[in-house]
Amino acid sequence: MSDALIMSGRALRMSRRNVDALITSLALPVMLLLIFVYFFGGAIDTGTRYVTYVVPGVLLLCAGFGSSNTAIAVVEDLKTGIIDRFRSLDIGGAPILAGHVVASAARNLIATALVFALAFAIGFRPDATLAGWFAALGVLLAFILALSWLSAAVGLLAKSPEAAGGFTFFVSFLPYPSSAFVKTEDMPSWLQGFAENQPISQVIESLRGLLLGQPVGWTPWIALAWCAGILLTSVAASAWLFRRRTA
Amino acid sequence: MTITRRNAASAADAAHAAHAASSAAEPAPAIEAAGLRKSYGTHEVLRGIDLTVPRGTVYALLGPNGAGKTTAVRILATLATADGGTARVAGHDVRTERARVRRAISLTGQFAAVDEMQTGAENLLMMARLAPSAAGARLSRTEARAKAAELLTRFGLTDAADRLVKTYSGGMRRRLDLAASLVGAPEIIFLDEPTTGLDPRSRKELWSLVRELRAGGTTVFLTTQYLEEADQLADRIAVLDAGTLVAEGTATELKQRVAGHRLDVTVADSETYLRLAHHATYSDPETRVLGIPTDGSAAEVRGLLDALDPDRTAITSFTLHSATLDDVFLTLTGQPPATAPQDTAAIAAQPTASPTAPLKDSSHV
């Protein structure tokens, strides 16, 4: 556990100093929110103010992008040989990856705060109870952790930072065939099945329901189950990949 | 920079070892390996390596690029698992007692394993907090801070302590890297090609650090492609070529392996050069010089000259000198070693030569 704390401190310091990546991951949410609300928002009818509808989607899009950057950090570590040094100090793969996941969560929570602040400024008016807020943030955090650890596993698989960047692109694309930006009823029927049931839709519907104070039923639990499944699979896969990659 | 201080635990170990040596059995060697094998896919990297490194000595594993040096180090440092054979490091089995081995060693790889986006002080503090001591306990934050400060002073990095490592020169990175490997006061230090890519001054600095470590009782296992480096630093040298140890011994012993002396003859024309080239272990077509191994006695040199040149017209002049490690290398591996450490660009540009590849000039050994 103390290893993981030291590794988290390391990853946080290094994220803070990676100014280019930091600017991208903070500027992206701002740009996306403005683009969706002011460029596309007028043309999409969701039955509510579009800013209210789209905020959860933008949160997810940014969290996906931010989390998948974990893959790049892991590839960089493998490239420099520092992982060998850690291993020769008898530090396992789990604390090293956990450090990157913690740093990713911190980056993403800052980006999330930024999205909320801007959304409030341009007219987002949620109607959530305090418990609803906590539940929404909990689901979002679970999503960030799951995706960051999945991304760490992808980093162990990738041969270069460019390949790891491909994963970022894939994850950034996933919110589009979901209820993030448009209602799934407006999609072709063959896509609806996927769009309504894929994990990102479950997370988005949970956030939307919880933040707007609507009844959510089982959706947050289904979302959490997805996140837990992805997280556990990724932890197991990354342990195996770490051994294989460093043997 | 002095590296004579050791922690109390290893001083006690040394005392214990000395006592054991004087009273009963020899202490376990620092490193003992038998029949180490390793393949990656169908490529056999190590084909059965045996070696023994006594405690408190410097041991050099010398070989060209691709000989298997890094693989051997990674197996001994528990980072890779051998397909066959056994190895004990600091008296512990590298396969079954991995954690104990890791507590006794440190590894400095070919590329500086420090974080560019942390300062020198942050890197050392992090390593000091992660490094287990001989007893297996971790240093407290305060102790780690003191250790990091001590190492920064010892390695002349105090002024640069609060700068990000990405602003460091190659030599400074290397020093920081080595400092990072000393946080846990290891008994055995592995250095994988420690001077590759360093300028001559930084290389000399690193050499003196290795000597200081040895003087302080630490065992140093280093790999190098430079004969000069092995000659300068190592008590014993093992020559690794294509996964096999082709020779092992002190620098002097190795030099004796190749007849002790070399007769360099300058021949009159290129026709003679080509005719006699197969006798030579050294050849230079530009100056038409051929080097032939000999014991250096007057009788043998006279006999050699007569045999090569019965008509006394083909050889215009000759010189006689002691064999160098280059001659050893060439004789044992069939290819010339990397020429000079400062000439790294040329080395990097060389294609990875296979042991059977013809030399760049016409001589075949």
Q: Does B158 touch chain A (CB under 8 A)?
A: no
**CA pair distance A67, A75, nearest whole angstrom:** 14
CATH 3.40.50.300 correct for B22-254:
yes
Enumerate the residues of chain B whose CB falls inside 8 A of the CB of residue A86: 130
Query: Comparing A55-69, A131-145, B246-260, B307-321, which segment has the lowest mean pLDDT?
Result: B246-260
**At B188, is the pLDDT very low, low, confident or very high (cuts 50, 70, 90)?**
very high
CB contact under 8 A, B78 and A18: no
Residues A155 and A234 sit within 8 Å (Cβ to Cβ): no
Q: Does residue A221 carry a pLDDT above 80?
A: yes
pLDDT averaged over every residue in chain A:
87
CB contact under 8 A, A17 and B181: no
The one-letter amino acid at A100? H
Q: Give the pLDDT of residue B25.
A: 56
The one-letter amino acid at A180? A
**A48-99 pLDDT tens trace:** 788 888 888 888 888 888 888 899 899 988 888 888 888 888 888 899 999 9
Q: Does residue B58 carry a pLDDT above 80?
A: yes
CA distances from residue B359 to A207, B68, B324, B337 in whole angstroms, order as listed: 70, 21, 18, 11
Q: Does B125 touch chain A (CB under 8 A)?
A: no
Cα of B14 vs its chain's centroid, Å: 25
Q: Does residue B349 carry a pLDDT above 60?
A: no
**CA pair distance B76, B97, nearest whole angstrom:** 12
**CA pair distance B363, A210, nearest whole angstrom:** 81
CB neighbour class for A233 (10 Å; exposed up to 12, middle 13-18, buried from 19):
middle
The SS3 of residue A232 is: helix
Q: What mean pLDDT comes out for the span A236-244?
A: 91
CB contact under 8 A, A89 and B184: yes
**B83-132 pLDDT tens trace:** 999 999 999 999 999 888 988 898 888 777 899 999 999 999 999 998 87
For tokens 């896509």, the residue is A191
Q: What is the ipTM of this complex?
A: 0.84
**At B21, is the pLDDT very low, low, confident or very high (cuts 50, 70, 90)?**
very low
Q: What mean pLDDT comes out for the span A129-136?
A: 91
Q: Where in chain B is the domain with CATH 3.40.50.300?
A: 22-254
Q: Give the pLDDT of residue A33.
A: 87
**Chain A: residue whose CA lies nearest to B181:** A85
Q: Give the pLDDT of residue A189.
A: 83
pLDDT averaged over every residue in chain B:
80
Q: List phi, psi (to 5°) of A223.
A: -60, -45
Q: Does residue B19 carry a pLDDT above 50?
A: no
CB contact under 8 A, B103 and A90: yes
Q: Give the pLDDT of residue A237.
A: 94
DSSP per-residue letters across B201-270 = HHHHHHHHHHHHHHHTT-EEEEEES-HHHHHHH-SEEEEEETTEEEEEE-HHHHHHTTTSEEEEEEESSH
Q: Give the pLDDT of residue B133.
A: 63
Q: Give the pLDDT of residue B91.
A: 92
CB contact under 8 A, A2 and B138: yes
Q: What mean pLDDT comes out for the span A135-140?
A: 94
Query: Comparing B5-14, B157-166, B221-230, which segment has the lowest mean pLDDT?
Result: B5-14
**Chain A: residue whose CA lies nearest to B78:** A88
Greatest Cα pair distance in chain A: 59
DSSP per-residue letters across B106-138 = EEE-SS--S-TTSBHHHHHHHHHHH-B-TTSPB
CB contact under 8 A, B127 and A89: yes
Shortest CB distance from B130 goes to which of A3, A13, A81?
A3
Residues B94 and B73 sit within 8 Å (Cβ to Cβ): no
Q: Give the pLDDT of residue B103.
A: 86
Mutate to test the interface with B, among A89, A242, A244, A246 (most CBs of B within 10 A): A89
Q: What mean pLDDT comes out for the span A28-40?
A: 86
Please, what sign has the CA dihedral across residues A186, A189, A191, A194? positive
Q: Does residue B348 carry a pLDDT above 70?
A: no
Find residue B315's DSSP bridge partners: B267
**At B52, is the pLDDT very low, low, confident or very high (cuts 50, 70, 90)?**
very high
Chains A and B form CB pairs within 8 A to the count of: 67
Q: What mean pLDDT comes out for the span B295-317?
A: 88
Mutate to test the interface with A, among B115, B123, B133, B176 (most CBs of A within 10 A): B115
CB contact under 8 A, B118 and A6: no
Q: Does B51 touch chain A (CB under 8 A)?
A: no
